[in-house]
Amino acid sequence: EAGVAQSPRYKIIEKRQSVAFWCNPISGHATLYWYQQILGQGPKLLIQFQNNGVVDDSQLPKDRFSAERLKGVDSTLKIQPAKLEDSAVYLCASSSPLGEGSYGYTFGSGTRLTVV
């Protein structure tokens, strides 16, 4: 089966600019996650969707980050305006069913964002 698709693979922007990342999960996976991985750290969950509803966005900096999953399939994560500390790899993952991620939890290759 096809994996989790993410684009772009790399992005360089200046601070205060905006950027958007796209994720297409594995077909049929109801749960979609966005993680942020800062260099030298483990990934941290930003937001979790179940179909097109938000399950957890407690660590999403809502003043600058937003995410949506219209139609419960692919998802977009946006940063506006970007700060230097947003430089990181943004990982998308999907799983099914909710809570049993170990049986289908798959990560995409990520988008590496550099803010200069």
Partner 1 sequence: GNSVTQMEGPVTLSEEAFLTINCTYTATGYPSLFWYVQYPGEGLQLLLKATKADDKGSNKGFEATYRKETTSFHLEKGSVQVSDSAVYFCALMKTTGKLIFGQGTTLQVKP
Name which of 84 and 98 has its Cβ closer to partner 1: 98
Which tokens hold the place of 69?
């999953």
Taking the complex as a whole, how short is the minimal distance between the CB of residue 109 and partner 1, in angstroms? 4
Is the separation of the CB atoms in 48 and 93 below 8 Å?
no
Binding site for partner 1 (CB under 8 A): 31, 33, 35, 40-45, 48, 55-56, 91, 95, 98-102, 105, 107-110
Name which of 87 and 105 has its Cβ closer to partner 1: 105
Name which of 80 and 104 has its Cβ closer to partner 1: 104
78 sits in which H/E element: strand 75-79
Q: What is the DSSP string of 26-66?
A: -TT--EEEEEEE-TTS--EEEEEEETTEEEE-TTS-TTTEE
Taking the complex as a whole, how short is the minimal distance between the CB of residue 83 and partner 1, in angstroms? 22
Is the separation of the CB atoms in 31 and 49 below 8 Å?
yes
Alpha carbon of residue 48 to chain centroid: 9
Name which of 4 and 19 has its Cβ closer to partner 1: 4
Taking the complex as a whole, how short is the minimal distance between the CB of residue 114 and partner 1, in angstroms? 16
Taking the complex as a whole, how short is the minimal distance between the CB of residue 41 and partner 1, in angstroms? 6
